[in-house]
């Protein structure tokens, strides 16, 4: 039995043994050294890659951003730093660090120049995604760095290096940092640069650990006391880098739980026949749950009863604020008719065509309501980044009738609650952004204090 156990562990060791495919150490070091310097062709490739990534972020194109990451040479000096610390090569460490700083400065300057000259200066979702790092980004950098180092030190590299370049996403944070400088938004700059620093630290850490696991030979003999100091310094850098990300992750998880609790609360306590919940959002600053309802009015007693149940959904710290929408009886009546429509075999062709047209029109109207409900939720997150003074937003499709004629028109209404007064310039900029974001031909903006 003992012999069988030993055989099993030997088999596992054979499968997981990295050293079996290990490349010659000197060859690996030479490959890393050749990829760390930024001059001539390498420098121009970096500049073009930054321009491409900035363009991708500007037009919100994931495919373009991925293409830029594939041709980016930024991984070289970062892995060089990790390898140099792992084998205690001071010369390699200095060269890697200098080239890393050169690449970083040139990348940020290139991105800044692009965003200064581009006519498109609105922050897109791909760009905003790089301003709030979390522990998930730490894990991506650590695992990506480990995969990249193993690929560099083994004979069969395959498609690992391009995949690591995409997964760790070194380019977009630098481009976003350049955008922050170009538009004068320091929160964008620091958030994006922090994400880039996370990637750097944990790719270096993964490379350092890899050199120890694969047992690379040290180029310099260092006494045990200095080795302990190096390890303590690295541990301090790693912990200090993780702390802000850990805090942001806690906030993200807390917000996610609160949003799920709000959805459960609305579904269980405020879902009634004839009432449509248009939007629901959380105002953390005022500790308010803002819910916009259309259709049948929710009574004051019902609202009061629902407020008492907030604690059951871990929402006791919030106040319930229900904004009652306009009546939509005609739409609700059509919806009821739609559910009871049956196609009779004896119905003539004309009747079938009329019913089909009515159903199609109803589906379009229902789709409009659900679209603007989800759109309000999507826009609120982006709105907080672009216009921090805005605390609430509700978006709806309105049909307006004239009192002295049968004429009517449709347009989108956006109701904004702002803590600060908007001047005419900012109001126009907000209206143009909302019009573009909602893809609306006509949009009416209402700003309330």
In whole angstroms, give the CA distance from residue 177 to residue 106: 12
In whole angstroms, give the CA distance from residue 140 to residue 9: 30
Q: In the predicted model, is pLDDT for residue 338 greater than 50?
A: no
175-192 average pLDDT score: 90
Q: How far apart are the first and last CA of the chain?
A: 78
Token duo for residue 318: 């919030």
In whole angstroms, give the CA distance from residue 292 to residue 4: 68
pLDDT band, residue 429 (cuts 50/70/90): confident
In whole angstroms, give the CA distance from residue 413 to residue 396: 5
User: Residue 128 contacts by C-beta under 8 Å, 6 or more apart in sequence?
Assistant: 382, 385
Helix (H) or strand (E) holding 283: strand 275-283
Cα distances (angstroms) measured from residue 290 to each of 136, 194, 283: 30, 33, 7
Q: Which residue has the higher pLDDT, 160 or 40?
A: 40
Q: Which of 14-28, 241-255, 413-427 has the lowest mean pLDDT?
A: 14-28
Neighbour-count burial of 323, counting CB atoms closer than 10 A to its CB (0-12 exposed, 13-18 middle, 19+ buried): middle
pLDDT score recorded for residue 8: 66
Question: What is this structure's pTM?
Answer: 0.64
pLDDT band, residue 421 (cuts 50/70/90): confident
Whether 154 and 21 have beta carbons less than 8 Å apart is answered as yes
Backbone angles phi, psi at 326, to 5 degrees: -75, 155
If you search the block for the tokens 């100091």, which residue do you land on? 229
pLDDT score recorded for residue 94: 92
In whole angstroms, give the CA distance from residue 381 to residue 124: 12
In whole angstroms, give the CA distance from residue 388 to residue 176: 19
CA atoms within 13 A on the CB side of 201: 20
pLDDT band, residue 392 (cuts 50/70/90): confident
CA 26 to chain centre: 40
pLDDT band, residue 74 (cuts 50/70/90): confident
pLDDT band, residue 285 (cuts 50/70/90): confident
Backbone angles phi, psi at 287, to 5 degrees: 55, 55
Domains and CATH numbers, the chain: 18-221 (1.20.1080), 355-449 (3.30.300.30)
CA atoms within 13 A on the CB side of 173: 23
C-alpha angle 72/74/76, rounded to 5°? Answer: 120
In whole angstroms, give the CA distance from residue 206 to residue 264: 41
User: Residue 143 contacts by C-beta under 8 Å, 6 or more apart in sequence?
Assistant: 167, 206
pLDDT band, residue 335 (cuts 50/70/90): very low
Q: In the predicted model, is pLDDT for residue 239 greater than 70?
A: yes
Whether 158 and 151 have beta carbons less than 8 Å apart is answered as yes
pLDDT score recorded for residue 158: 53
Across 9-13, 124-128, 136-140, 213-217, the highest mean pLDDT is recorded for 136-140
pLDDT score recorded for residue 362: 66
Whether 46 and 106 have beta carbons less than 8 Å apart is answered as yes
DSSP result, 214-240: HTPPPSS---HHHHHHHHHHHHHHHHH
If you search the block for the tokens 């730093």, which residue do you land on? 81
pLDDT score recorded for residue 96: 92
If you search the block for the tokens 């302990």, which residue do you land on? 228
In whole angstroms, give the CA distance from residue 316 to residue 333: 37
Q: In the predicted model, is pLDDT for residue 100 greater than 90?
A: yes
Token duo for residue 241: 């880098």
Among residues 104, 95, 122, the alpha carbon closest in space to that of 32 is found at 95
Q: Which residue has the higher pLDDT, 433 or 160?
A: 433
Q: In the predicted model, is pLDDT for residue 56 greater than 50?
A: yes
193-213 average pLDDT score: 89
């Amino acid at each position: 039995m003992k012999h069988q156990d030993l055989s099993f562990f030997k088999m596992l060791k054979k499968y997981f043994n990295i050293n079996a495919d290990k490349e010659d150490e000197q060859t690996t070091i030479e490959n890393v050294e050749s990829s760390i310097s930024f001059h001539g062709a390498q420098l121009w490739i970096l500049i073009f890659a930054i321009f491409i990534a900035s363009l991708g972020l500007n037009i919100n194109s994931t495919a373009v951003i991925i293409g830029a990451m594939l041709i980016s040479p930024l991984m070289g000096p970062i892995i060089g730093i990790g390898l140099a610390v792992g084998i205690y090569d001071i010369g390699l460490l200095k060269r890697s660090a200098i080239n890393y700083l050169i690449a970083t400065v040139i990348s940020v300057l290139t991105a800044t120049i692009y965003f200064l000259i581009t006519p498109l200066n609105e922050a897109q979702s791909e760009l905003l995604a790089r301003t709030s790092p979390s522990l998930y980004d730490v894990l991506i950098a650590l695992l990506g760095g480990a995969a990249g180092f193993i690929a560099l030190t083994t004979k069969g590299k395959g498609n690992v290096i391009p995949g690591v370049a995409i997964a760790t996403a070194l380019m977009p944070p630098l481009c976003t940092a350049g955008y922050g400088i170009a538009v004068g938004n320091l929160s964008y700059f620091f958030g994006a640069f922090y994400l880039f620093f996370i990637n750097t630290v944990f790719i270096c850490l993964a490379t350092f650990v890899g050199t120890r696991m694969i047992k690379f030979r040290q180029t310099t003999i260092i006494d045990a006391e200095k080795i302990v100091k190096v390890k303590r310094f690295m541990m301090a850098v790693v912990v200090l880098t993780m702390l802000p990300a850990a805090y942001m992750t806690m906030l993200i998880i807390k917000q996610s739980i609160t949003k799920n609790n709000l959805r459960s609360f609305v579904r269980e306590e405020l879902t009634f026949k004839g009432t449509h919940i248009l939007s629901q959002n959380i105002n953390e600053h005022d500790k308010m749950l803002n819910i916009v309802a259309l259709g049948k009015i929710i009574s004051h007693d019902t609202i009061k009863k629902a407020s008492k149940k907030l604690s059951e959904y871990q929402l006791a710290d919030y106040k319930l604020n229900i904004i009652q929408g306009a009546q939509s009886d005609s739409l609700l009546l059509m919806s009821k008719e739609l559910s009871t429509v049956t196609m009779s075999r004896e119905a003539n062709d004309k009747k079938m065509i009329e019913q089909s047209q009515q159903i199609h029109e109803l589906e379009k109207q229902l789709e409009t309501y659900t679209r603007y409900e989800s759109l309000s939720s999507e826009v609120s997150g982006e709105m907080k980044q672009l216009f921090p003074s805005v605390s609430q937003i509700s978006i709806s499709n309105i049909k307006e009738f004239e009192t002295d004629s049968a004429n009517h028109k449709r347009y989108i209404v956006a109701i904004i609650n702002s803590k600060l007064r908007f001047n005419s310039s900012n109001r126009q900029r907000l209206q143009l952004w909302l019009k573009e974001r909602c893809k609306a031909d006509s949009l009416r903006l209402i700003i309330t204090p």
